[in-house]
A and B are shown apart, each in its own frame.
Chain A
C-alpha cells in the first residue's frame, strides 16, 4: 500500500512537472519542424505566464487567462516570425532577443498593472484552471493520486496527440515537414513557405504561452519574476532530446518530470542525501540518457536556415 502510494505520488508529480514543459516543447516542435529554430521559448513562456495570470486575475476566468497567455506569446512568436521569415534573420539571435523582450515586457507591464510589483496578485482556487476529474475519482485511490490533475495536464497530453496527427496524418502537416526539410522543394510545388513558417512560429509562441499559463494558472496561482526561470530552456532541450517529434518531446518531458518527482520523493524519505545533489540529479540524468540511449539526434534538414527566394 505504501509502495503504491509512493508510486502514485511520483506519477502524479511527474505529470504536474511535465505539463508546462510539454506545452512549450510542443511549441518548439511546431516551429522547428517548419525550419525555424526557436530559442526564444523561455521568453515566450515567461510572457505567456504573465499575461495569463493578469487576464485571469482581472477577468476572473481561467480560460480567458489561458487563452490570453497563448495570444500574448503568439505575439512574440509573430515578432520572431517577422524577423526569421520576412527578414531572413539569424534565428538564434532573434530568439535571444525574444528572451530579453519577453521577461522585460512581462515585468514592466506587471509593475504597471499591479501597483509597482513584479508579481501578479494571487488567484483564489475557483479562478484557477479547474480539476474536472477531482470529484469523479474515488478518494484515496491510486488512480486519483495519479490523475487528480489540473485540466491543463490533460490538455497538454491531448495536444501531443493532436500535433502528432497534424504533422503525420494531414495535408498541412505534410507541408509543414516539407518546408522544414526542403523549403525550395515545397516552394516549387506551390506550397507557400512563408505562410507556413509564420503559422508554425506563431503557434509555437501560442503553445509556449500555454506552457507559461499552465504554470501561473494551474501549478502556481500567480506570476512572479522567477516563476519560469529556465523551464523554457529545459523544454527546448526536451524537444531536441525527443528528436523534434511530438511524442519524443513528450517522453523527454516525462523523464524530466519523473526525475524531479524522484528528487522530491527521495527528499521525503529518511535518506541523508545533500539537497543540492538531489536537485542536480534530473540534469545529470538527462545528460546520461542522452549519452547512452539516444544517439545522434537529427534536426529537420533546413532547421535554422532562412529561406530566401531570390538568391538561390
Chain B
C-alpha cells in the first residue's frame, strides 16, 4: 500500500451530469480521490468512465455538478485549467502525433521557445531526457512516434503529463496494448509514481489489474456510480457483478475435441509493412479442422500484416498460403472469400463495415452480386430483406431493423452484424482478429460463444488477439508471434501466463 493521505482529498467530483443529446453519459456521479492513492474506475465499455474523466480534464463541460481539486472549487472549462491544476491524462487511444518526434509531442502546448516563439528543440530535448531519467521512463527524444513501439508511446504519454508537472495522473485503459511482463513493469511504474507523491486514477475494465494495482475502486454502470470499495476487501467476482449488474461467468464452456486435418497452412511467409520492413518474416503455422488456434503476441509484431496477407489485402513477398492445400498466395480478396475463408477484421469502422450503408446492405457485402440477392446486375431487395431479417433474428442484432445505418449501431451490435455476415457464409476457416476489442462484457460473451460454436461445427478458427486472457480461455492451441515469426506453439491446457509472456517478449524457445 502506498502512502495514502486520507486527510487530503485531491479530487472531488460532486453530482456530475453530462448529456450528449438525449443520452445521459454521466448521471449524478460522485468521486473522491485522496492524495497518493491509485484509484480505479471500473466499468464496461460505454459505462461513462472516460466521459467522467474528460469532464475532469476539461475536454467536456458537465451539464451540472461541481469539481474540487485540492480543496478548491474549479471550473474546468478547458484542458489548460486542468493542466495548470496539476492534472495529466493519458488517453486510451494515444493522443500522439505520429509524424512528430517524441520531444515535439511532449512539449506541444507548453513549448520551450525563444523570442518570437522560435522553438528551442535542443533545450526541450534535454528537459525531456531529464524527466525521463527522473522517473525511469526511458525514451529517445528525437525519434518519431510512428517509429517507436506501443509501450514506448505509452511512456511518452506519461512523460507528457509529468512534463506539465502533473501530480494527478488519469490513465485510460493503459494496459490494453501491453504484454504481461510490460503490465507488471507498468504497475511498478505506477507504484513508483505514487511513492513520489503522485495520485493515479486508473480507468479499466480488467479486474486483475485492479486487484494488483489499485487501492480504491469506484464502479460505474450505465452512467451511474454503483459504489466505491477498498480493493483489498473485495473479490474479483464481486467487482465483476457490480460492473455488469449480474453475476458473470468468466469461464468459456468448451468440450474437448480431437482436431482434424489442416485447413490453413502457412509456409515461410514473408510480408512487408507500410514502411517496407519485413513485418512477417518466415512465419509458418497450421490451423486444423475443429480447433481454435490462438495467435498471441504484443501489438505490432506482424499480426496485422499476417491477417492482411491471409485475406488477400496485402502482397506476400515469399512463402505460401494454402487453404485445403490449394495455393491462395497473392489471390485477391474475392478469391479467398470464395475458398471459404471468412474474416472478422480487427477494425470494425475501417474494414468491417460501411457505416453509411444500412445493416441490410452490410450483410450482403460479400454476396451482393450473387443469387438470390441480385440477378443480371439488379439487386433483389426482397431477398436481401428476408435474409437480413433472418440474421438479425438469429444473431439478436438490436435494433432489429435492417434499414438503419450501420454506423448508428452500438459497437457490440456492429460486431454482431459482422459476425452474422461472416459466419453465415459458412466458412471452413474463420479468422477473427481482435474480435472483442472495445466491446462490453455481454457482447464479449456473445462473440466468444460464437467462435466456440464454429469450432464445435468442425470449422477451423484462427483467433488473433492482444488480450492474453481471451487467447488462453478460447484456444485449443496457442501460437506466439514475435517479430514476424512464430516463436512457439503450446497446447492451451499446458499454457501458463508466465511462459507465454516470456515468449511474447521474444524470450521463448524455438518453434516446436
A181-209 contact mask (Cβ, 8 Å, vs B): 1 or 0: 11011111111100000000000000000
CA distance A169 to B111 in the complex (A): 11
Most chain A Cβ neighbours within 10 Å, of B95, B97, B118: B97
CA distance A171 to B124 in the complex (A): 12
Contact B100 A181 (CB under 8 A): yes
A190-B83 contact given A170-B116, A170-B119, A171-B117, CB 8 Å threshold: yes
Residue of A nearest to B80 (CB): A190
Contact A185 B96 (CB under 8 A): yes
Residues of A within 8 A of B117 (CB): 170-172
CA distance A174 to B95 in the complex (A): 15
Residues of A within 8 A of B59 (CB): 187-188, 309, 312
B216 contacts the other chain (Cβ, under 8 Å)?
A: no
B195 contacts the other chain (Cβ, under 8 Å)?
A: no
Residue of A nearest to B82 (CB): A190
The stretch that binds A, out of B102-110, B315-323, B478-486, is B102-110
A174-B118 contact given A185-B96, A188-B79, A190-B83, CB 8 Å threshold: no
B20 contacts the other chain (Cβ, under 8 Å)?
A: yes
Contact B108 A191 (CB under 8 A): yes
Give, as a whole number of angstroms, the nearest-CB distance from B102 to chain A.
13
Residues of B within 8 A of A182 (CB): 95-98
CA distance A177 to B111 in the complex (A): 14
A189-B111 contact given A170-B118, A181-B100, A310-B20, CB 8 Å threshold: no
A185-B95 contact given A175-B109, A190-B83, A191-B109, CB 8 Å threshold: yes
A170-B79 contact given A181-B97, A182-B96, CB 8 Å threshold: no
CA distance A177 to B20 in the complex (A): 29
CA distance A191 to B109 in the complex (A): 6
B60-73 contact mask (Cβ, 8 Å, vs A): 1 or 0: 10000000000000
Interface residues on A, range: 20 to 34
Give, as a whole number of angstroms, the nearest-CB distance from A253 to chain B.
24
**A109-142 interface with B by 8 A CB criterion:** none
Residues of A within 8 A of B20 (CB): 310-311
Residue of B nearest to A165 (CB): B118
CA distance A145 to B54 in the complex (A): 62
B122 contacts the other chain (Cβ, under 8 Å)?
A: no
Interface residues on B, range: 20 to 34
CA distance A90 to B57 in the complex (A): 29
A178 contacts the other chain (Cβ, under 8 Å)?
A: yes
B231 contacts the other chain (Cβ, under 8 Å)?
A: no
Residues of A within 8 A of B160 (CB): 189
Contact A189 B118 (CB under 8 A): no
Contact B108 A175 (CB under 8 A): yes
Most chain A Cβ neighbours within 10 Å, of B59, B109, B113: B109
Residue of A nearest to B60 (CB): A310
B91 contacts the other chain (Cβ, under 8 Å)?
A: yes
Contact B119 A174 (CB under 8 A): yes
Residues of A within 8 A of B104 (CB): 174
Residues of B within 8 A of A172 (CB): 117
Among candidates B98, B110, B118, residue contacting A181 with C-beta atoms closer than 8 Å: B98
Residue of A nearest to B113 (CB): A171
Q: Which residues of B contact A (CB under 8 A)?
A: 20, 54, 57, 59-60, 78-80, 83, 89, 91, 95-100, 104-105, 107-111, 113, 116-119, 160
Given contacts A170-B116, A171-B113, A178-B97, 14 further A-B pairs with CB under 8 A are A171-B117, A174-B104, A174-B107, A174-B119, A175-B108, A181-B99, A182-B95, A187-B59, A188-B59, A188-B79, A188-B95, A189-B109, A190-B109, A311-B20
Chosen A-B contacts, 27 in total, with CB atoms closer than 8 Å, are A169-B118, A170-B113, A170-B116, A170-B119, A171-B111, A171-B113, A171-B117, A172-B117, A174-B100, A174-B104, A177-B97, A181-B98, A182-B95, A184-B95, A185-B97, A186-B97, A187-B59, A187-B79, A188-B59, A188-B91, A189-B79, A189-B109, A190-B80, A190-B83, A190-B109, A190-B110, A191-B109
